[in-house]
Structure 1
Amino acid sequence: MPRTLFIVLILSLTQEATADIYKYVDSDGRTYYTDEPKNGLYKRIIKSKAIRHTNYFSNTSPRIGRYSSANKMRFAELIAQTAAKHQVDAKLVHAVIQTESAYNSGAVSPKGAVGLMQLMPATAQRFGVMDSTDPNQNVDGGTRYLKHLIAMFEPNIDLAVAAYNAGENAVIKYNNSIPPYPETQNYVRQVLALYNR
């Protein structure tokens, strides 16, 4: 049974809304996201900016996680073009974006990672991204970074994904293996589950 990414957002249909996103990884490695943590096991991973919502929902409950699907469609062409330009599998870019930000271009993590691909300031600068909140720049910089990591750890895509989360030096430090950090190990499982779906 494939791992399921549960994303529950409370969003207004006609007004501006904010949603901090919290994450919980259970003992089986399944990842859950919510904007209403039920206990202290959830960790805030994204502090969202105000977002204007218009036609993303039909007459269904706003608690249904269609926000991610709507934005996935919104950014699909950008991701396809950027992935083709840099010769990276678009499915992998999608898997990273879904895991990193759930397609929220305004996402900002507590550690300072920004945008769809959650670029840290140093990574953004390294890959020429001037504005990480700009989806075009963010996806381009994040995809170029992913390509760099794939080339560095070829042919092991697991290590490239681990390096995207923990940094390439962490992977090198542990003799070119996935670092023994639960967050990184769960991250790799989540990204690869989405990629192989």
Structure 2
Amino acid sequence: MPDTLTTRLAPGLALCLGLAACGEPAPSAEMEAIAERGELIVLTRNAPTTYFFGRDGEAGFEYDLASAFADHLGVRARFVLLDSVDDVVRALDEGKGDLAAAGLTHTPGRDGRFTFGPGYFLVQQQLICRRGGASPESPEDLADVQIMVTASSSYVERLEELRAQVPGLTWEARADLTTEQILEKVWRREVDCAVADSNIVAVNRRYFPELKVIMPLTEEESLAWMLPPDSRGLQRELNHWFAGLEDNGLLAILQGRYYGHVEIFDYVDLARFRRRIDSLLPRFRPLFEEAAGTHDLDWTLLAAQAYQESHWDPTARSPTGVRGMMMLTQLTAGELNVNDRLDPAQSIRGGARYLAALRERLPDSIQEPDRTWIALAAYNVGMGHVFDARGLARELGHDPDTWVELREVLPLLAQPRYHRRLRYGYARGSEPVEYVRRIRNYQDILIERLSVVSGQL
């Protein structure tokens, strides 16, 4: 199983566990077991909203959050990957993990079997069908459509509640399929509709743009980590740790990292992008790979940026006079030795060189991936405005080294009370925020599409 955060036991935790001191109740059996093992066993599943292998290794909202909690305990996190919610629930019930961090909703039906940590993310159950297919207009119409959900999920619990109002309501609960796989079945027209949490829908609708949100089936509900029923000591520690997350900003950072760029949904644009991945990208892919390799960039990032700039049209022109695949100004092209902005090879090489140079100009205190996101913002709005925004961020108590906080400050550059006293003055600061969000979105879709089509990047 994947192991992470190999650290020694924190002296503070060891003292509290060994002496039953620190003003807390005597250590519980499960906390002593965690300390003795030197690891926190986390049950999760491989999915884009929980745990996955990204370009730089293990990643995912649940992965990062659980790793941070294990670090707080002074132990390592060991992730046990399971195939479905049903498998996760069963494994926790059988005592195979300390907690389940798998995008699980805290529901009344689960309260009787398990203990929960604090809620950390609000989601809403949604009915999802395919464009051109079934389209029920009210809960009463659900009896007329074929619905599939993953077994042991909160969706089953909600459908059972709805059946009291809609006696003819039926559904198929699949223990062998994840929610993501069921959404793909809806997209392939193999089943009419599915039920899924809004965060899962937001991520997966980018890959399957014909999926359509028909109606919400619940109010907002909290995702929470699920613990064995006798884990009161671990629950106390979780409550204590989560109480400090708002102060240190970790939840906001993770929400920005994994969901900040998926809020956009433009069905026409995403459908066209998917078509152009097949029709246009093969022609330009070698150019992106060569230029990215020269400047230590990810070629899919460069391709996504080029699509945002020109939709991969080498002859593109904006009203302000920028031209070509990477939409370079005449001045910037000259500085980059790009003689013909309409030559895709020159434009891509020039754009890659320019982005790499911007990334190098940023202070060493900015780490990846924030460094790349901020460099992209500078490509769009100019480095001067980015430095202005960083200074303003410090002044307003934000962290200028993280994209999730800098993107909150950039739109303020359009307000006179701020830009009047800044070196570079006014800027449409919301544009680079949208620019970066779209590029991240395109890159995610591109990586997923290439993985499905060819099995390789």
State if a TM-score over 0.5 links the two structures.
yes
Residue 164 of structure 1 and its aligned partner are, at CA, apart by: 1.1
Change (3 A) 1:33 1:133: farther
Distance in 2, Cα, partners of 1:184 & 1:144: 19
Bigger RCO (CA 8 Å, 6+ sep): 1
Residue 158 of structure 1 and its aligned partner are, at CA, apart by: 1.6
* Equivalent of 1:121 in 330, 335, 338: 330
Distance in 2, Cα, partners of 1:4 & 1:116: 23
Unmatched 5+ stretches in structure 1? 6-27, 35-62
Question: For residues 14-53 of structure 1, what are the structure 2 equivalents within 5 Å?
Answer: 29-30=264-265
Residue 71 of structure 1 and its aligned partner are, at CA, apart by: 1.8
Kept after mapping to 2: 8 A contact 1:113/1:120:
yes
Question: For residues 156-175 of structure 1, what are the structure 2 equivalents within 5 Å?
Answer: 156-175=371-390
**Is 1:187–2:444 an aligned residue pair?**
no
Q: 2:357 maps to what in 1?
A: 148
Amino acid at match of 1:104: D
The secondary structure found in structure 2 opposite 1:183 is: helix
Change (3 A) 1:68 1:112: farther
Kept after mapping to 2: 8 A contact 1:166/1:184:
yes
Change (3 A) 1:31 1:159: farther
Change (3 A) 1:183 1:32: farther
Amino acid at match of 1:193: N
**Which is strand-richer, 1 or 2?**
2
Change (3 A) 1:151 1:112: same
Q: 2:305 maps to what in 1?
A: 96
Unmatched 5+ stretches in structure 2? 1-201, 208-262, 391-399, 401-405, 412-428, 446-457
**Which is helix-richer, 1 or 2?**
2
Structure whose alpha-carbon radius of gyration is higher: 2
CA deviations 1:71-110 (Å, max 9, x no partner) are 2111001111111122211121011011111111110111
Residue 69 of structure 1 and its aligned partner are, at CA, apart by: 3.6
C-alpha RMSD over aligned residues:
2.5
Percent identical residues: 31
Total equivalences in the alignment = 147
Change (3 A) 1:64 1:124: closer
What is the TM-score with the length of structure 2 in the denominator? 0.30
* Equivalent of 2:279 in 70, 90, 104: 70
CA deviations 1:24-44 (Å, max 9, x no partner) are xxxx5445777xxxxxxxxxx
